[in-house]
Amino acid sequence: MNRDAWMREAIELALRGRGDVEPNPRVGALAIEGSRIVGRGWHRHWGGAHAEIDALADARQRGARPDTIVITMEPCSTPLGVKEKKTPACTAAIVEAGIKRVIVGAADPDPRHRGAGFAVLEDAGIEVADGVLAPQCRAINHPFERWLGLDRPWTIAKYAMTLDGKTAAPTGESRWISGLPARRKVHELRTLVDAVAIGFRTARADDPELTVRHVEGPQPLRIVVDPWAEIDVESKLVRLAPEVPLLVMAHEEADPVRVTRLRDLGVEVEFVKGAGTGRRLHLLDGWRALRRRGVRRMMVEGGGALIAQLLGWDCIDQVLAFVAPKMIGGQFAPSPVAGEGRPFMAEAWRFSEMTWSACGEDLAIVAFRADP
């Protein structure tokens, strides 16, 4: 097998992480002994092992001693921060494994790190061949390149809907549209994001906890976008605040009495300037503030008004939609995206790289925001 064939297989491996790793890059790797593939790996999910580490671990399990590694992207040269823990850089793992040759597709597109991994490997006496199928390797990482230009968290809009596009019955009742496997996947995703957010109407209608259940994992910051700080102090969200952090994003002119009451109950309130009239907040400013406090990846779980506003601020990067094999009908039943919408089809918010998979009886659809 030649270098191009190896790289094509590594690209196929990289794409297995699509939908789970973003905004991290999609990367695939092969560990080679002689001319034989002895290990395969890819970046499987946000916060997980990088592809090189995965491939070398696969080779070790097989009792192999690879001398070459094929990677779709330049390996990282700085320790990795995963939920405030540090793991060694991939270049260090490659050197420690005794690799003699590294074949790379594309350089790291992040200008802060581009070329640094190559330099570390070459200084260690390892032969580096880069640029193998570089255009194809770069093409699979449009979301990562989008992320590099953002000053706010990568934001995933998650919702469940029926076949006729409804997120609740006309009465507002919505439990449960999706089945248990889909709900379990949402809880897994909660463990892999820094924050989960909902709008104040969803908080009022569903009285959710927004905690991690069904699976083991860390609890993300819970956020309610609530311009006038109207959240019920007896809600599950507020009652859990002393144990599970809750942030309310409120208008700077919200009632100080309500704000003080929430803070007394252990809720953090962050003021966001208004945008226009009524209940609208300048959500881009709010999202930038979240990034400054360390929120890099977050999930918005509704409702339709909040998702619509975030689309208007160009703050939705990825969609995860669960489609249940049900129809409920109703002219006034809500849909995933509310608001005024776009006046013409030509002005629709566009998404790309749409993929789908079965999740129990439901269909899980993933798509990524296309550049305007």
CA distances 86 to 47, 224, 337, 338, 356, Å, are 11, 30, 39, 41, 33
How far apart (Å, rounded) are the C-alpha atoms in residues 109 and 367? 22
Clarify whether 52 is annotated catalytic.
Answer: yes
Q: Is the dihedral of CA 271, 275, 278, 280 positive or negative?
A: negative
Q: Do 157 and 320 contact (CB within 8 A), yes or no?
A: yes
Task: List beta partners, residue 251.
Answer: 272
237-255: b (≥16 Cβ within 10 Å) or e: bbbbbeebbbbbbbbeebe
How far apart (Å, rounded) are the C-alpha atoms in residues 300 and 190? 10
Tokens of 214: 């069904």
State how beta strands 297-300 and 268-272 pair. Answer: unpaired
* Burial (Cβ within 10 Å: 0-12, 13-18, ≥19) of residue 15: middle
Among the listed residues 12, 33, 52, 353, the single catalytic one is 52
Q: Is the dihedral of CA 304, 309, 314, 316 positive or negative?
A: negative
Closest CA to 367 of 354, 348, 350: 354
Give residues with Cβ within 8 angstroms of 9, minimum separation 6: 28, 30, 37, 40
| Residues forming the active site | 52
